Amino acid sequence: MSDTSGEMLVEMWLAVKPYIDKKERPDAALAYLRASEDFVNLEQAQEDAKGSDSALDGAFAEILGDIEEEELEDEDEDY
């Protein structure tokens, strides 16, 4: 795997995104990441790609969960 896997995913997504209807982009981004997860470390890719595209951010959050929410839950368990 490459250290730039997130950048590669973003570049490929942004290349096809204009051809996807706006209403379908969240589902398409989710399918795109699901197809990529056998080839790319999605946790690392999420860090690299964060903020580059809202549809991708949403798909990452759906697959991996919202990191910020997990961190807050972990902090609450410490008390």
φ and ψ at residue 69, rounded to 5 degrees: -65, -40
Residues 12-62: pLDDT tens digits? 999 999 999 999 999 999 999 999 999 999 999 999 999 999 999 999 999
Per-residue pLDDT, 4 = 73
Per-residue pLDDT, 1 = 45
Angle at 44 between CA 15 and CA 29, to 5 degrees: 35
pLDDT band at 78 (very low <50, low <70, confident <90, very high): low
- DSSP class of residue 38 equals T
Per-residue pLDDT, 47 = 92
pTM: 0.77
Report CA torsion sign: 9, 16, 51, 76. negative
Range of the domain at 41: 5-77
Domain count, the chain: 1
Per-residue pLDDT, 66 = 72
